[in-house]
Amino acid sequence: MNVTAVLIVLGFFTLVFALFYMQKRQNLAMIEKNMNPREYANRPAPYRNLKWGLLLIGAGLGLFIAYLIDQFGIPSRDNEIIYFALVAIGGGIGLVGSYRVEKKELLDRRSEI
């Protein structure tokens, strides 16, 4: 059997175990502080759609720009890295934009009080 396959399977099960373990510890810490973990697990996330929307718009724009560079810019057959890089850059710019909008809203709410 390949060592890489064994390490991948072992890493996957370690990750799953760690996620469940950390969730259990978080719930126990909340219970110790007289908090109900179920209330905080189901609270609404008001900017979730904005974050996903800007992430996907940024990734789509990055993919489109990579396509344009591939077709009209750099004459080469090995341009796959441009696609991955620009999708990551575009997605990151979308997440930074989402953060800035959320931060501005939070500061506006605090200044109203």
Domain boundaries, the chain: 1-43, 45-113
pLDDT 10s digits, 69-90:
888 887 777 778 888 999 999 9
Q: How many CA atoms lie within 13 A of 94 on its CB side?
A: 22
**Cα-atom radius of gyration of the chain, to the nearest Å?**
21
Residue 43 pLDDT: 67
Nearest Cα neighbor of 93 from 46, 48, 60, 45 is: 60
**For residue 70, what are the CA distances in angstroms to 14, 16, 42, 75, 91?**
40, 39, 44, 7, 19
Name the pTM for this structure. Answer: 0.59
